[in-house]
Amino acid sequence: MLQNFNDIYFENEYIIFHIQNHILFIQYKKVEIDIDEAIIILEDRLKFQNGITYPIVANVHDLISISHRARKYFATYSYQKTTSVAIVSNSFYLNLITNAYISMYTHDVPVKHFNDLSKAIEWTISISDKKRSIFKVLKEAFY
């Protein structure tokens, strides 16, 4: 069910992905996400990324709801091919869900909630810069 698929943009009925400045931006549509939709979203994201790892900024402003099963699935499997996840929401309901998601589950990468998209991007860039610095030090130490 791939639509509008190219190197920097992908859209399905639940989500829009685009890559800008080496960051994968995810925009959830006005939908309800259960386990079946979560599986499709992750499969489509991994196809879209084509084996490349990115930091993610996920905007959930328009999301209507996400089930416990979908949140658990994302917490278990969605960190493949990502270095960090910034989740952006600005409604009371989504802030509660996001903060519960972050505190209830163990995450393989840094995950943080933001109310402001620009702050989420700043954090994502700072995390990426720190990882590049560590990699550079390790590379110099071993080569």
Q: Domain with 93 in it: what CATH number?
A: 3.30.750.24
Instruction: Give 24-38 pLDDT, tens digit per residue.
Output: 999 999 999 999 999
Give me the residue label for tokens 């952006």. 88
Q: How far apart are CA 5 and CA 84, in angstroms?
A: 24
Whether residue 77 is contained in a domain is answered as yes
93 compared with 31, residue with greater pLDDT: 31
Whether residue 99 is contained in a domain is answered as yes
Strand ranges (DSSP E) for 6-123? 9-11, 15-20, 23-28, 32-33, 54-59, 65-66, 82-88, 111-114
Query: Domain limits at 116?
Result: 9-142
For the chain, the domain total comes to 1
Residue 128 has what pLDDT?
Answer: 77
Residues, the chain: 143
Question: Is the confidence at residue 1, as pLDDT, over 70?
Answer: no
Whether residue 115 is contained in a domain is answered as yes
User: What's the pTM value of the predicted model, to 2 decimals?
Assistant: 0.84
Whether residue 128 is contained in a domain is answered as yes
Whether residue 33 is contained in a domain is answered as yes
